[in-house]
Amino acid sequence: MGERLPSKKSFVCSFVDCKAAFSKSWKLQAHLCNHTGLKPFSCNNCDKSFCTRSQLTRHELTHSGEKPHKCVVEGCSEAFVTNASLKNHTSKFHNQEKKYKCNHQGCEKDFNKRNQLSAHMFVHSKALPFHCKISGCTKEFPSHGKLKHHEKMHDGYPCEEEACIFKGNTWTEYLKHRKSHKVKLPCAQCKKQFSNAWFLNLHIRHVHSGEKRMFPCPREGCEKKFSRCFHLESHVLGVHEGLKAFTCAAAGCGKSFAMKESLWRHGIVHDPSKKLKKLGNQKEENKLAAKLAKTNLNE
């Protein structure tokens, strides 16, 4: 078999002092969430939001109850929402022989690891060996690791800002509090405030300069520009790399596309009834884009 060549990382993070680069535009968009905190893909069934459409699609399975990843081991009927959960199940229950068996009378449990057996044995003795030493706390734990995790709850997460006495009980509380210390950057033209320079520059470019953000093709000698990352990626894959892996299955058609979404859109040519569904999806995309733009401008 031939050696797999590394893909060219053409999509570079635009934040100052960040040198991250990616081979796919969606990976860059997901990475930008770390800087901006925005999660543009919202679930219609709950209040959760996600950085990428694939994360949202995977999450939506929890509402539908669909579990597409089924265990292939004979006699096992387990199914899972994600492939990672299936792999974990297979590794835990089918690929390993459990070596550590409980010798307590009447107990038939066995375990993959010695520390799992040790923790289990305290169920029979009713005495846990690791005690919290904080005054007034009587909790006990079967392992040293669980005790250490518990002790962090007592320590809390104090704010590092000078003269701030806040201490969060959890890391999430601490992160929420940290946002209160961030200095807002005002726009000199309309006085709107933004959480960082990236959002401020984006606001100035789109609102006050009238400039439309474009994504230039990174290939040398190509002067094409696109208004969407999707179109840029489709252009690079189809034109420069000649990769059109998605072929229309309709009889007599034979057209191929670089992106799966392009094939879906092309399907309307053969089945006009899909047009209404497409229009509905387009409205949802427009709503999402408007919501994202509004969030950027109100920061």
Summarize pLDDT for 204-254 with one digit per residue, the tens.
Answer: 776 777 666 677 887 888 888 887 767 777 788 888 778 777 788 888 888
Residue closest to 31 by CA, chosen among 8, 55, 51: 51
Rounded Cα gap, residues 81 and 66, in angstroms: 7
Same CATH topology for 11-93 and 223-276: the answer is yes
User: Is the pLDDT reported for residue 293 higher than 70?
Assistant: no
Residue 128 pairs in a beta bridge with none
Beta strand pairing call for 157-158 and 167-168: antiparallel
**Where along the chain do its domains lie?**
11-93, 223-276
pTM: 0.31
pLDDT of residue 141: 81
CA angle 225, 226, 231 (to 5 degrees): 130
Angle between helices 25-36 and 53-64 (to 10 degrees): 80
User: Is the pLDDT reported for residue 8 higher than 80?
Assistant: no
- Name the CATH architecture for the domain at 11-93: 2-Layer Sandwich (3.30)
Average pLDDT over the chain reads 75
pLDDT of residue 44: 79
At 123, is the pLDDT very low, low, confident or very high (cuts 50, 70, 90)?
Answer: confident
User: Is the pLDDT reported for residue 81 higher than 60?
Assistant: yes
Q: Candidates 3.40.50.2300, 3.30.9.10, 3.30.160.60, 3.90.230.10; correct CATH number of 223-276?
A: 3.30.160.60
